[in-house]
């Protein structure tokens, strides 16, 4: 038996200045959608080459097309009121460095709810440019999207339950289109899971989120589920929003109730790693694999491959070898817009991209180093203990 430890990126890569400027021009109506997407294609090509040069077998589009990882499906939709005009009625994500992100809010007009943009469009563009690449597509969770329905308001002719029904249908449609296009895997981003325990420590909000996601996941058969995973982290937007929330008390046991085969979990930035590994070992099911974050995306220091190797070997003491994968803790640039409140920019956009790819290279090389050591140890055990 050969031990194989898969390693995958999470999603976003810092966007080059020309792309950020083009996004601003597009929002201001200075360039067309087609012109904007053509500029995104250029950035995509550079980004994919960066992945490949770093040794990444599985790639993403680096979210070069998305305005942000949460609300890309409704960006520019006439069904929502954006953050500039909703008088802070939309759901607010408060980060620990003081900046915030605010979600759009459903307006109650032009219903029923529909996505304006599906992730499959991004996937199709990558497939066209890199037809032989193994492409992972990230999408937003139904639990995160559920937060755009006004918290303290029920529309007279469009209840929350009706919205949930339409939203579930839209996300199912998005996933099925990605599967039909030939995606390697689909990662559902659920940063709101850990955040929910900061808002509601009782866990009732998290339970509703888990139930809502499972309402989506039961629509897929076992073969399809093998390609679907969930990503959870405490935020990676230059700062965290919920790193102070206990990982083990409710979050990990709840996440493993989801009907998915893959878990992409923030881990490198955690302090109490042994306790977390013991908790995961207790909750993981035989058919599931955990991709552990072995790179801290908030820390600009580039980890060495040896540091990654040692972390993977530590993980292997607690988790079955065939259920271990690696990833980065989070994406490197989940939003294309500057945050509300602001934070200090310590690196240029160009150096941020360079740092991201150096970290990815360390992840790939360190994972391979650990894999080689584990295979060597396994071969020794077989030779000394033949059947």
Q: Which of 300, 305, 315, 383 is nearest to 14 (CA)?
A: 300
Tokens representing residue 362 in the block: 């360390």
pTM of the model: 0.93
- Helix ranges (H only) for 182-304 are 192-199, 204-217, 222-225, 252-255, 273-283
CA separation (Å) from 233 to 212, 213, 296? 19, 16, 11
> What is the reported pLDDT for 385?
67
Longest dimension (CA), the chain: 73
Class of domain 17-384: alpha beta
Nearest residue to 65 via CA among 28, 101, 34, 29: 34
- For residue 273, the SS3 value is helix
SS3 assignment, position 100 = strand
> Strands 80-81 and 105-106: what pairing?
antiparallel
Please name the helix (run of DSSP H) or strand (run of DSSP E) that holds residue 309, with its range, or none: helix 305-315
- Ranges of beta strands (E only) in the chain are 58-59, 80-81, 92-94, 100-102, 105-106, 134-140, 185-189, 228-232, 262-265, 289-293, 324-327
- How many of the other CB atoms lie within 10 Å of CB of 179? 17
CA–CA separation, 367 vs 33, rounded Å?
A: 40
d(CA 210, CA 255) in angstroms, rounded, equals 7
Look at residue 322 in the predicted model and tell me its pLDDT.
96
Please identify every stretch of the chain with a pLDDT value under 70, giving residue numbers as ranges.
Answer: 83-88, 334-350, 382-387
At 342 the pLDDT is 43
Domain spans in the chain, listed from the N-terminal domain onward: 17-384
117-159 pLDDT, tens digit each: 999 999 999 999 999 999 999 999 999 999 999 988 889 899 9
Q: What is the dihedral of CA 179, 185, 189, 190, to 10 degrees?
A: 100
Q: How would you classify residue 108: left for phi > 0, otherwise alpha for psi between -120 and 50, otherwise beta?
A: left
* Cβ within 8 Å of residue 266, ≥6 positions away: 232, 233, 234, 236, 293, 329, 330
3-state SS assignment for residue 305: helix
Task: Give CA–CA dist 188/224, Å, rounded.
Answer: 14
DSSP-derived letter for residue 224 is H
Estimate the share of the chain in helix, then strand, then coil, as percent rounded to the nearest 5: 45, 10, 45
By C-alpha distance, which of 327, 262, 325 is closest to 296?
327
- The C-alpha atoms of residue 51 and residue 59 are separated, in whole angstroms, by 6
């Amino acid at each position: 038996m050969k031990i194989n430890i898969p390693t995958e990126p999470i999603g976003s890569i810092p966007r080059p200045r020309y792309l950020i400027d083009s996004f601003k021009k597009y929002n201001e109506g200075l360039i067309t959608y087609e012109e904007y997407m053509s500029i995104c294609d250029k950035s995509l090509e550079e980004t994919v080459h960066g992945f490949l040069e770093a040794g990444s077998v599985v790639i993403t589009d680096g979210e070069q097309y998305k305005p942000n990882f949460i609300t890309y499906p409704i960006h520019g939709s006439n069904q929502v009121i954006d953050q500039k005009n909703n008088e802070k009625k939309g759901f607010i994500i408060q980060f620990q460095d003081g900046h915030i992100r605010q979600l759009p809010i459903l307006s109650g007009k032009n219903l029923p709810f529909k996505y304006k943009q599906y992730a499959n469009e991004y996937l199709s563009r990558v497939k066209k440019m890199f037809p032989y690449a193994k492409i992972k597509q990230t999408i937003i969770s139904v639990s995160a999207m559920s937060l755009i329905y006004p918290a303290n308001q029920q529309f007279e002719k469009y209840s929350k339950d009706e919205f949930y029904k339409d939203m579930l249908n839209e996300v199912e449609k998005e996933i099925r289109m990605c599967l039909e296009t030939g995606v390697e895997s689909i990662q559902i981003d659920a940063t709101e899971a850990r955040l929910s325990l900061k808002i509601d420590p009782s866990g009732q909000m998290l339970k509703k989120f888990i139930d809502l996601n499972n309402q989506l996941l039961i629509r897929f058969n076992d073969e399809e589920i093998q390609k679907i995973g969930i990503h959870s982290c405490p935020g990676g937007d230059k700062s965290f929003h919920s790193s102070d929330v206990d990982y083990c008390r409710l979050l990990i046991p709840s996440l493993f109730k989801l009907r998915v085969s893959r878990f992409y979990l923030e881990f490198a930035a955690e302090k109490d790693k042994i306790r977390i590994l013991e908790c995961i070992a207790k909750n993981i099911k035989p058919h599931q694999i955990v991709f552990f974050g072995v790179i801290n995306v908030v820390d600009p220091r580039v980890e060495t491959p040896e540091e990654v190797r040692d972390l993977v070997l530590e993980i292997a003491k607690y988790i079955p070898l065939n259920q271990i994968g690696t990833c980065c803790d989070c994406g490197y640039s989940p939003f294309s817009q500057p945050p509300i409140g602001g934070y200090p920019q310590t690196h240029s956009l160009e150096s941020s991209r360079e740092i991201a790819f150096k970290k990815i290279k360390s992840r790939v090389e360190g994972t391979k180093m650990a894999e080689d050591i584990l295979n060597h140890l396994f071969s020794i055990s077989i030779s000394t203990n033949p059947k």
